[in-house]
Amino acid sequence: MAADKASEAKDLDLEDLLEIVCDLLAGVRQTVLDPGFELDVETKSNRNDLVTAVDKQIEAYISEMLMAATGYPLLGEEGHSVSSFAGRVWVLDPIDGTMNYVTTHRDYAISLALCEDGRPVLGVVVDVLAGLTYTAIAGQGAYCDWQPLARVNETRGRREVVIITDIKEIVALPRLTRCLLESRGHRRYGSAALECVEVAAGRAGAFVHMWVSPWDIAAAYLICVESGVKFTRLDGTPLDVRYPGSVLVGWPQAHTELLSALMRQVE
């Protein structure tokens, strides 16, 4: 049955798949806002790595709906795994920023990407509380609520932008601390997907993080790239979203200058 669905899905183009995903996530967003049941908060790897019943149920629901609609397997933060990235694979974070969802009640997102042989070709990030939906299809630009995002500034350097990063990076990377002091300011939101789309939308010039997982950034990666953002590992090497690791995300000149400053002593 799954094989039949996968065969049928190959006739769906990316525009059709984007419509399916956006309709699905519009309903899921309402569930996140008002689940109608207890959150049942648990910890995973550490006391600040939270999961709720909402995360689990949403992932299970999205996986079931997408399998029925497309036949493609799904990799999800809350337990869904894949044996291979060959062909088309969905990559999902049902709630990116669960700590925010539980505590501050803002700055959390649903992040869903479709990868083809490991490369994102469709990405959707839903800012749940703000009600904004960021989308991208490879080669077709990036959008927010179906309005095109302007290409980011290509010439503004690191001293002229806001930089998003966390205290862990500031402590671990003294050169980053100096960059922050010389920049237009430092921000932190607690959802990697939203922090990336802040850069894509032109509200921040860079995002630095030492460890993200595929579901954190697969969708945001495509949205960023389609808006002209450079998206690499912290040392400037190319990013493969199939594997966890560091990220350096930035407008072209800001990215170039940050990479230079972080990889050698700042003059």
Angle at 52 between CA 26 and CA 25, to 5 degrees: 10
Q: What does CATH list as the number for 14-148?
A: 3.30.540.10
Which residue ranges make up the annotated binding site for Mg(2+)? 77, 93, 95-96, 216
pLDDT in tens, the chain (267 residues): 344 444 454 568 999 999 999 999 999 999 999 987 778 777 767 776 667 788 899 999 999 999 999 999 999 988 888 989 999 999 999 999 999 999 899 999 999 999 999 999 999 999 999 999 999 999 999 999 999 999 999 999 999 999 999 999 999 999 999 999 999 999 999 999 999 999 999 999 999 999 999 999 999 999 999 999 999 999 999 999 999 999 999 999 999 999 999 997 444
Residue 17's SS3 state is: helix
CATH of 163-263, picked from 3.65.10.10, 3.40.190.80, 1.10.10.60, 3.10.20.740, is: 3.40.190.80
Residues in CB range of 24: below 8 A, 6 or more apart: 62, 65, 66, 69
pLDDT of residue 8: 52
The domain spans of the chain are: 14-148, 163-263
pLDDT of residue 50: 67
CA atoms within 13 A on the CB side of 20: 21
pTM of the model: 0.92
Residues in CB range of 241: below 8 A, 6 or more apart: 91, 113, 115, 118, 119, 120, 214, 217, 218, 221
- Closest by alpha carbon to 193, among 228, 241, 234? 241
On the question of a common fold for 14-148 and 163-263, the answer reads: no
Which residue ranges make up the annotated binding site? 77, 93, 95-96, 216
Contact 72, 9 (CB under 8 A): yes
pLDDT of residue 267: 42
Distances (CA, A) of 122 to 102, 134, 137, 166, 265: 29, 11, 5, 28, 38
pLDDT of residue 230: 98
